[in-house]
């Protein structure tokens, strides 16, 4: 039974570009949450998707958007990248009967 998977593992972009990160949830999970973890910090909640709708959102600008597909997988999109967007992006999946399990993350570097 595969856990949460994320792709790509690493990504290097330049300022102003756009990026898409992908997440496949653990089998049986229908909810996907995204977190940003800057170096030396704890993860910060970006948003959560359930039934293909954004259900909760943290304090992140509209440059951060997402999508959930019918198979429960999800994408995180970031437009107009800034240097400060460099971080580890973590995806977590969950269900009403199971807590959040995290994927290995995508390391984004913005130059």
Residues that bind another protein (CB under 8 A): 4, 6, 31, 33, 35, 40-45, 48, 50, 56, 58, 90, 92, 94-105, 107
Residues 52/71, Cβ–Cβ less than 8 Å = no
In whole angstroms, the minimum distance from the beta carbon of 51 to another protein comes to: 12
Tell me the longest C-alpha to C-alpha distance in the chain.
41
- Put the strands of the sheet holding 64-68 in their side by side order: 5-7, 19-24, 74-78, 64-68
Structure tokens at 3: 């856990």
In whole angstroms, the minimum distance from the beta carbon of 102 to another protein comes to: 4
- Residue with smaller CB distance to another protein, 66 or 103: 103
In whole angstroms, the minimum distance from the beta carbon of 103 to another protein comes to: 5
């Amino acid at each position: 039974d595969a856990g949460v998977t994320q792709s790509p593992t690493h990504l290097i972009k330049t300022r102003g570009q756009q990026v898409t990160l992908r997440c496949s949830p653990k089998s049986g999970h229908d909810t996907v949450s995204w977190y940003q973890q800057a170096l030396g910090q704890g993860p910060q909640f970006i948003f959560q998707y359930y039934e293909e709708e954004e259900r909760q959102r943290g304090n992140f600008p509209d440059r951060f958007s997402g999508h959930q597909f019918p198979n429960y997988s999800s994408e995180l999109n970031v437009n107009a990248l800034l240097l400060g967007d460099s971080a580890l992006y973590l995806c977590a999946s969950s269900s009403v009967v199971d807590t959040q399990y995290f994927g290995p993350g995508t390391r984004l570097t913005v130059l």
